[in-house]
A and B are shown apart, each in its own frame.
Chain A
Amino acid sequence: MSSKESILAAIQKNKPDLLPLPEHPEFPVEGDLVEQYKSSIKSNGGQALEAKGPEDIRSYLDIHFQDSQMMLSLSTVVEGNFDIALAEDPHDLEHVDLAILEGEWGVAENAAIWLPEERLKHRALPFIAQHLIVLLKKDRLLGNMHEVYQLINVSDSGYGVFIAGPSKTADIEQSLVIGAHGPRSMTVFLLD
């Protein structure tokens, strides 16, 4: 008997009688989603800023980044200075200083932003970049995880990720350190 067959046979012998699979009730979220989102991402070590338009983001970039840094934007709202088409292999992204992406959905209760593969080009991009900026339209904000799983089909993309903050660790005496392996900062611009 193959291992598969023997495992399945053991389950059939040992499993209890079938128990029902519960339906998901709704858990509606009340209140100001923008404010909730901002406070959630702060707890995760990131920040959310409201932006009226591209100018706000550009002026943020002017203050925090220099032209000499490698900035890669997959957003149509602001431009970067490095063309993703030049990166054939994810290893070519090793020196990216800033990645700018557009999120599909945002979740107010925990700041998670859904980024399917199509919005990343390379799966490695939001991890290998030193800093991450995500743009999200305010009308793409949802209350909680139940709502977002109603709207997305996770298998439409070969890969998709909920990112809720920068790369962080507390493995040394429980002290929070931002920038474990991936981005040292995450800023979300909430757009009107």
Chain B
Amino acid sequence: MKLPQTHADAAAEFLKDTDRSHWHDDTLWHVRSKRDASAQKIPEWEQLRTLASQIKDHVLSNLDNLLLQFEKNAQANGIEVLWAKDAQEHNEHVLRILEENQVKQLVKSKSILTEECGLNHFLEDKGYDVVDTDLGERIIQFNKQVPSHIVMPAIHLKKKEIGDIFHEHLGTEAGADDPQYLTEAARQHLRQKFIQAHAAITGVNFGIAETGGFVVCTNEGNADMGTHLADIHIACMGIEKLIPRAADLGVFLRLLARSATGQSITNYNSHFHRPRKDKKMYLILVDNGRTKQLGREDFRNSLKCIRCGACMNTCPIYRRSSGFSYNSTVPGPIGSILSPGMDLKKHSTLPFASTLCGSCSDVCPVKINIHEQLYKWRQVITKEGPSQPSKKWAMRFGGKVMSKPKLFDLMGRMARKSLSISPRGFVYNSFNAWGKHRELPEVPKESFKDWYKKNRNK
């Protein structure tokens, strides 16, 4: 059986284009800096993070009751609530709704959940033309790609490439790459789609248990353009997206955009409670592995994630290797603790795609201990799964040597000698993955132990 591509291999491909990888790194770091500036303006920032984390702790510990309360209130509001245990059932619900209502044209706003469920492919196979309306998502849809970032889906593309994509699909002038011009072309194109759509699919940022409504946040206004013109609104929501009270939004809306891009809030924050007169609103509650993750004590609080993307923007690995290297719907640090829970084999290298510097945990608005969970996954994976054979061997050998002080001393002496006289190609070669782009420190003449013996009486 062919092993899935490792994160390191995928990253190596991205890193071949040095200019692009530097540019990617700088762009995301800029977003991270904006987040810092924005958070620092709020004196109670740390208090808000603690509150958000505690609210989500409560939600996870009371999820069954809150879901029932949410369903009851939503139904009373006239929303049809459906449950889906996995991606397949979710997609089938959507299909059934489209068929029942004889929907021909549909628009979709950003939803990572539908990405996770592979909804677009599923519907396209059934003959539907699914139009993604978030500008970044439309770009990558034209380009037959998936998002490389959960907040900025096309962050991996340069404007020149987007200009070429639009030239091909929207007939913009060849070579034109002015963002204003390209956005205007997309606006004209998507307006037609909004006007014609019968159904609009959206994600959900927050479901409110006490009122049975839900909140969708965008900057473009595309979720609203879609839902308010179409007859059918289908909202797809992961079961962990619940909050108990409307007042909790005060905490979460203050944190979300500031963490994501440094804005104080997204320009549109829409609260849906009832369908328009004679129109229909559906809400699909999706499990797809979430209840399993809830049962893993060490990893459960990854479910608190509000998908702000801050952990990606700050991650030194993500910034340099891009979202695609993770080969997972949610990339970056949070993806690396969520995805192994969904498919351990496929995603076994992701928890190793980290320096464990802890920056992700520091910026996370709901205080998920991301880097600790990465470390815990490593332990699980090393025990169970196929770690890289060369690494495994090295670890076993290392373990032996370290457990025997005499042997350790001997090996140290040998290494110091041999490293200082070895030709470069002997040390930095394809067997030493670590040595790519890295230099060993200068080899000391003596071990610390020898140095200490000589110096302790001085």
A residues whose Cβ falls under 8 Å from a Cβ of B? 2-4, 6-8, 10-22, 24-25, 27, 40, 43-45, 90-91, 94, 109-112, 122-124, 127-128, 144-146, 148-150, 153-155, 157-175, 177, 179-183
Q: How far is the CB of A80 from chain B (nearest CB, A)?
A: 20
Pair B77/A155 contact, Cβ less than 8 Å: yes
The answer to whether B135 touches A180, judged by C-beta atoms less than 8 angstroms apart, is: yes
Q: Are A172 and B182 in contact (CB under 8 A)?
A: yes
Assess whether A172 is in contact with B159, with CB atoms less than 8 Å apart: yes
What are 17 A-B pairs at a CB distance below 8 A?
A10-B287, A10-B294, A10-B295, A15-B61, A18-B61, A19-B54, A20-B54, A91-B229, A145-B249, A145-B254, A155-B246, A158-B273, A159-B271, A162-B265, A162-B269, A168-B267, A171-B136
Looking at B187-195, B415-423, B434-442, the stretch in contact with chain A turns out to be B187-195
> Does B131 sit within 8 A of A, measured CB to CB?
no
**A159-B271, A180-B221 known; A11 vs B63 contact (CB < 8 Å):** yes
Give me the interface of B with A, judged by CB distance under 8 Å.
Answer: 27, 30-31, 44, 47, 51, 54-55, 57-58, 60-64, 67-68, 73, 77, 83-85, 89, 133-136, 139, 152-155, 157-159, 162, 179-180, 182-184, 186-187, 190-191, 194-195, 208, 211-213, 219-222, 224-225, 227-229, 239, 244, 246-251, 253-254, 261, 263-276, 285, 287, 291-292, 294-295, 297, 300
Residue pair A164, B244 in contact (C-beta under 8 Å): no
Shortest B200–chain A CB gap in Å is 11
Residues on B with C-beta less than 8 A from A177 are 179-180, 183
Pairwise interchain contact A167-B184, C-beta atoms closer than 8 A: no
- From residue A7, how far is it (CB to closest CB) to chain B in Å? 5
Task: Given the known inter-chain contacts A6-B85, A123-B228, A181-B187, please indicate yes or no for A150 contacting B267, CB distance below 8 A.
Answer: no
**A127/B225 contact (C-beta < 8 A), A162-B265, A172-B135, A172-B154 known:** yes
Return the contact of B221 from the options A6, A90, A181 (Cβ within 8 A).
A181
Query: Hey, which chain A residues are within 8 Å of B180, CB to CB?
Result: 175, 177
Q: Smallest distance from the beta carbon of A116 to chain B beta carbons, Å?
A: 9
Contact A25 B61 (CB under 8 A): no
> Are B68 and A22 in contact, CB atoms less than 8 angstroms apart?
no
The answer to whether B183 and A10 touch across the interface, beta carbons within 8 angstroms, is no
**A interface, by DSSP: helix, strand, loop or mixed?**
loop
Q: Could you tell me if A123 and B271 are in contact, using CB atoms closer than 8 angstroms? A: no
Task: Give which listed residue, B139, B183, B276, contacts A180 with CB less than 8 A.
Answer: B183
Chain A residues near B84 (CB, 8 Å)? 3
On whether A171 and B83 interact (CB within 8 A), knowing A15-B60, A149-B246, A162-B265, the answer reads no
Partner of B249, one of A22, A124, A149, A167: A149
The answer to whether B247 and A146 touch across the interface, beta carbons within 8 angstroms, is yes
Q: Which residues of A contact B291 (CB under 8 A)?
A: 7, 10-11, 14
Given contacts A112-B269, A161-B270, contact A179 B62 (CB under 8 A): no
Whether the pair A157, B273 counts as a contact (CB closer than 8 A) is yes
CB of A105 to closest CB in B, whole Å? 13
Least CB distance, A148 to chain B, in whole angstroms: 8
Q: Which residues of B contact A160 (CB under 8 A)?
A: 270-271, 273
Given A15-B294, A161-B268 in contact, is the A94-B187 Cβ separation under 8 Å? no
Q: Is the CB of B292 within 8 A of A179?
A: no
Complex alpha-carbon distance, A167 and B109, angstroms = 14
Are B250's CB and A145's CB within 8 A?
yes
Task: Kindly list chain B residues whose C-beta atoms are within 8 Å of the C-beta of A44.
Answer: 263-265, 267
Residues of B within 8 A of A15 (CB): 60-64, 294
Q: B158 touching A173 by the CB < 8 A rule?
A: yes
The residue of chain A having its C-beta at the shortest distance from the C-beta of B217 within the complex is A162
Question: Assuming A10-B291, A172-B179, what are 11 further A-B pairs, CB within 8 angstroms?
Answer: A8-B64, A17-B61, A21-B54, A24-B248, A110-B265, A127-B228, A146-B247, A149-B250, A158-B275, A163-B268, A181-B190
Chain A hits for B186, CB < 8 A: 180
Q: Is the Cβ of B133 less than 8 Å from the Cβ of A171?
A: no
| Given A44-B264, A127-B224, A168-B220, A10:B254 Cβ within 8 A | no
Q: How far is the CA of A187 from the CA of B152 in the complex (A)?
A: 27
- Residues of A within 8 Å of B182, CB to CB, are 172
Pair A21/B179 contact, Cβ less than 8 Å: no
B440 to chain A, nearest CB (A): 37
Q: How far is the CB of B247 from chain A (nearest CB, A)?
A: 5
Which residues of A have CB within 8 Å of B222? 180-181
